[in-house]
Amino acid sequence: MSELRDLCFEIVAGSAERFLNLQWGDGRFSTHAEHQTDEWNFYDQQYILPAALLYATDGPANRWRGDERLWQAILRNGRHIASRIGEDGAMVWRLNGVVLGHPFVCQRLTCAWLQAYRLLRGRLPEGDEAIWRESIVKACQWLVNRHLIPHRDVVRFTSHDVGTGTNHFALYLSLIWLAGTEFGRPDWVELAADLMRRLIADQRPGGYWEEHHGPALGYNYLTYDGVVQYTTWSGDQVGIGALQRGLDLHKNWTYPDGIAVECIDGRMRHLSQPMMWGLAGFTRWPDGRGYARFMLEQLRRHGDSLSGETAARVAEAFLLSQEGDESAPPQEQKEYRATLDGASVIRKRGPWVVALSGQCSAPWPENQFCLDRQALVSVWREGAGLVIDGSNSKSQPELATLRDESGEGAHMPLEANIVSADGWEAVEYRYATFKARVAARMVGESAVELEFRVMDAAGGPVTMALVPNVSYGESLAIEGKGVTTLGDGTMAIPDGGALTFRGVTLRPPAGASIEYPVSPFNSYSADNTSPPSANRLVVRCPVGSRSVVFRVGRA
């Protein structure tokens, strides 16, 4: 078995030809064909770190060491990035017609650039080295003035408290600590270290930092990475316990394809590939090294088309990881079970993974990035991937797992507790107008049964909804209706039968209806709309004191 760092290097080296071919004449990296545009984003420019790593790293297997083509690409990209930084240190960001309405500095790009600078310091032409250094310092000073000094006394680090995403703030701190050390700014070092120690102390017992309330699993990787960077670079041991708790969270709430479980996430819908942030922090422990290897192998299965940001994260993992014994992560075990906050539970058995979310939080209507915690169930199966999509949404009660139809608007749970027993994983929920129980049982390795029951209903009738993870352009068979391909048409089947797709069959109870399309809320578009490719199919049915059962099994 190869060393973890060797695996990281192999993945980065495998992406080099591709990212070199992405460079435009003005020095930027872009996944789009070169054309006249004022659009610019920070994601692609992070190729500068893997490029610097390949150029500077000794080793007989590294054919890129000292490569002239790579060197010229690095110099052109460094000059391009510097050209996008204003005299005040701020950057301009335009992407897909969206222009940020305020100045900003991308801490992700700046930190990747700073790490590249550290690898190439003393090798860069004198003028380039000076431009890199001056530009990075200006950008960091902007962050210090804009974000760190105004929040130097905070003790909570949610978006409410620091005025931006918690993940952003954690990465500001690690960047400013490193820049302060690199460029002789002890005031930056002291300020960043003081704030970082308080941020570390603000981690919840479940291993996450709150962006709003409860876990934002995808973005927690980023906050975790900020703590990893600071802990590794500074040697400050105060973060070790937080890193271990974060490892326990992430290794337990990751599907066997490396993608984070979506139903407990208060910010991101189901992702398309594994997150590579924070890998080095996992490698302090044998189970974490096993989890890090698993994540890297899953990434490799997605091919060598790494984004600039992902390639930079793998390069960073090479630089910061620790080697040692490894133990198998939960994803490679036949069965495991974990809980979170006494409210959410996940179980894997054979080819199945089922998660029930009991995470509850008040909505934040003014913040488009915080989703409504209304989805309760996720189901995954080997060979089929995600089968029941537990992604949360916003201002879309029609996508809530349970909903009071009386007009009271009750579709988000206020409290939840695990009540698993007798072979069933189960969570009880309290809504504003009713109480409910959602349970899941694995029938050997052949099927999963999902049971829904409402108790103490004070409002009107309650409807439940499941979202099969069937994509636009994908074909499925509907019992009694034949095979159909989801596209631009509509579908409304009042008494739908079983649905079969990707080798699994979802069999709803009698009286269930099928509806398509429902377009999900999109946090990351200017108008919060999604393209047709994101359209969802929804299965609904009424639920009362008598349980209704859905069965998901092999076709």
Instruction: Show which of 331, 356, 374 is a domain's final residue.
Output: 331
- The domain tally of the chain equals 2
Q: Is 506 helix (H, G, I), strand (E, B) or coil?
A: strand
Same domain (yes/no): 136, 241: yes
| pTM score of the predicted model | 0.97
CB-neighbour burial class of residue 238 (10 A; exposed 0-12, middle 13-18, buried 19+): middle
Instruction: Give the model's pLDDT for residue 81.
Output: 97
Same domain (yes/no): 10, 155: yes
H or E stretch at 354: strand 352-356
Same domain (yes/no): 249, 340: no
CB-neighbour burial class of residue 473 (10 A; exposed 0-12, middle 13-18, buried 19+): exposed
- CA-CA distance, 345 to 349, in Å (whole number)? 13
Same domain (yes/no): 148, 249: yes
Instruction: Give the model's pLDDT for residue 500.
Output: 98
Same domain (yes/no): 279, 344: no
H or E stretch at 342: none
Same domain (yes/no): 338, 327: no
> Which amino acid is located at 478 in the chain?
I
Q: Domain holding 412: CATH number? A: 2.70.98.70
Instruction: Show which of 293, 313, 331 is a domain's final residue.
Output: 331
Which residues does residue 437 pair with via DSSP β-bridges, in sequence order? 428, 453
Same domain (yes/no): 52, 194: yes
Instruction: Give the model's pLDDT for residue 409.
Output: 67
C-beta of residue 236 within 8 angstroms of C-beta of residue 349: no
Instruction: Show which of 302, 331, 360 is a domain's final residue.
Output: 331
Q: Domain holding 277: CATH number? A: 1.50.10.20
Residue 285 CB partners (closer than 8 Å, separation 6+): 244, 247
Same domain (yes/no): 319, 438: no
H or E stretch at 507: strand 504-507
Same domain (yes/no): 341, 282: no
Whose tokens are 């089968």? That residue is 387
- CA-CA distance, 281 to 224, in Å (whole number)? 8
Which residues does residue 516 pair with via DSSP β-bridges, in sequence order? 491
Whose tokens are 């997605």? That residue is 302
Same domain (yes/no): 326, 355: no
- CA-CA distance, 512 to 535, in Å (whole number)? 20
Same domain (yes/no): 225, 339: no
Task: For 391-444, give the secondary structure using H, E and C.
Answer: CCECCCHHHCCEEECCCCCCCCCCEEEECCECCEEEEEEECCCCEEEEEEEEEC
pLDDT by residue for the chain (555 residues), tens only, comes to 689 999 999 999 999 999 999 999 999 999 989 998 877 888 999 999 999 999 999 988 899 999 999 999 999 999 999 999 999 999 977 766 666 677 899 999 999 999 999 999 999 999 999 999 999 999 999 999 999 999 999 999 999 999 999 999 999 999 999 999 999 999 999 999 999 999 999 999 999 999 999 999 999 999 999 999 999 999 999 999 999 999 999 999 999 999 999 999 999 999 999 999 999 999 999 999 999 999 999 999 876 689 999 999 999 999 999 999 999 999 999 999 999 999 999 999 999 999 999 999 999 999 999 999 999 999 999 999 999 999 999 999 999 999 998 876 699 999 999 999 999 999 999 999 999 999 999 999 999 999 999 998 777 799 999 999 999 999 999 999 999 999 999 999 998 899 999 999 999 999 999 999 999 999 988 789 999 999 999 999 999 888 999 999 998
Alpha-carbon Rg of the chain, whole angstroms? Answer: 24
Residue 140 CB partners (closer than 8 Å, separation 6+): 89, 105, 110, 175, 176, 179, 180, 188
Strands 499-501 and 491-493: unpaired
Structural domain containing residue 534: 334-554
Instruction: Give the model's pLDDT for residue 458.
Output: 75
Same domain (yes/no): 318, 359: no
Q: How many helices (H) and strands (E) does the chain have?
A: 14, 21
Say what the alpha-carbon torsion angle 158, 159, 162, 168 is, to the nearest 10 degrees.
100
Instruction: Give the model's pLDDT for residue 345.
Output: 98
Q: Which of 147, 208, 134, 210 is nearest to 176 (CA)?
A: 147
Distances (CA, A) of 46 to 51, 56, 71: 9, 16, 15
